[in-house]
Homo-oligomer: A and B are copies of this chain.
Amino acid sequence: MSTLVFGHKNPDTDSVCAAIALADLKKKLGETITPAIQGELTPESKFVLEKFKVAAPAVVTSFAGKDVYLVDHSDLAQSPDDLGEANILGIVDHHKLGDVTTSQPLECWIWPVGCTCTVIKSMYDFNKIEIPKDIAGIMLCAILSDTVIFKSATCTDADKKACEALAKAAGITDTQALGMDMFKVKSAVDGTPVRELVLRDYKDFNMNGKKVGIGQLEVVDLSILDKVKADLEKDIIALKKEGGRHSVFLLLTDIIKEGSEVLIASDDESVIEKAFGATPKNSKVWLDGVMSRKKQVVPNLEKAFA
């Protein structure tokens, strides 16, 4: 029976590419293993896989009875609903340690770096296995995506070093241009249903017993979102109600201006003031310099909810 490796719900490019890369590495180490995704590809991920001619993993949502590796998450809320019936062989991640537990020893590589693919690059090196050209390409894109082309507060020297080596292995000479091409695809909103935009990079968190959803849209210029912003505001209010959530926050991140406008749907808007010291107006607030959900938004909100 094949082991499955997959990232979080609402897969981003790191979750997709890390699953593909870890499957490649583990296959070369003798395991029978297949990458999977928990939901449809984003336009960005599609662009990345097509650019390097890598096949998309199948969408799988049930893992009962399976051996599995988790990448890019260790939170039950971001895992398959039946994860408890799967046998977790390992976790490769770069987030805070979540509430996934196991009843058997397992293999965890979880490092405080900008992207899961940076960790997997080290795993290839550790095992002295060469990274194929196409896999190097998609790993490079995953790091550029997660670190917002090295601009995110989560970006470390290890990420930059990994990108240098991966660009060489993938035959990419202009990493910056590749990153901008990718973010232009990510920025495109025309013709996309509003709910799909809200969920494009969305995660639910348990903050002190409250269900809190945080989505993020990264664009090369906030004005791209002007036409849809009112609809986004309406939709996060709907999403909050549907799931019995305490709050839904949508970060509209301008990767050039390096900050985020937060759209707020919350039972208690004061958590935003508590978390960031900025006062929302009309359920919106601009947070200068805030680009990373993981490193800047989630920890501050968790403190505010505590």
Contact = CB atoms under 8 A, between A and B. Distances in A.
Contacts of A113: 105
A195 interface: no
Nearest to A303: B103
A243 interface: no
Given A108-B109, A109-B108, A101 B103 contact: no
Interface residues of A, number: 31
A102 interface: yes
A174 interface: no
A190 B1 CA distance: 52
A98 interface: yes
Interface stretch (A229-237, A275-283, A294-302): A294-302
Given A107-B110, A110-B108, A111-B107, A102 B91 contact: no
A60 B14 CA distance: 40
A302 B103 contact: yes
A91 B97 contact: yes
Q: Which of A101, A105, A107, A295 has most B Cβ within 10 Å?
A: A105
Nearest to A298: B103
Interface in A85-117: 88, 91, 94-113
Contacts of A97: 88, 91, 100-102, 106, 108
A298 B102 CA distance: 12
A294 B109 contact: no
Contact of A96 (B94, B99, B101): B101
Interface in A21-56: none
A295 to B, nearest CB: 7
* Closest 7 A/B residue pairs (Cβ): A108-B110, A105-B112, A97-B102, A108-B108, A96-B102, A103-B302, A97-B101
13 contacts: A94-B105, A95-B105, A96-B101, A96-B102, A96-B105, A97-B106, A103-B299, A105-B112, A105-B113, A105-B294, A108-B110, A110-B110, A126-B126
A97 B69 CA distance: 13
Given A97-B100, A126-B126, A105 B302 contact: no
A112 B101 contact: no
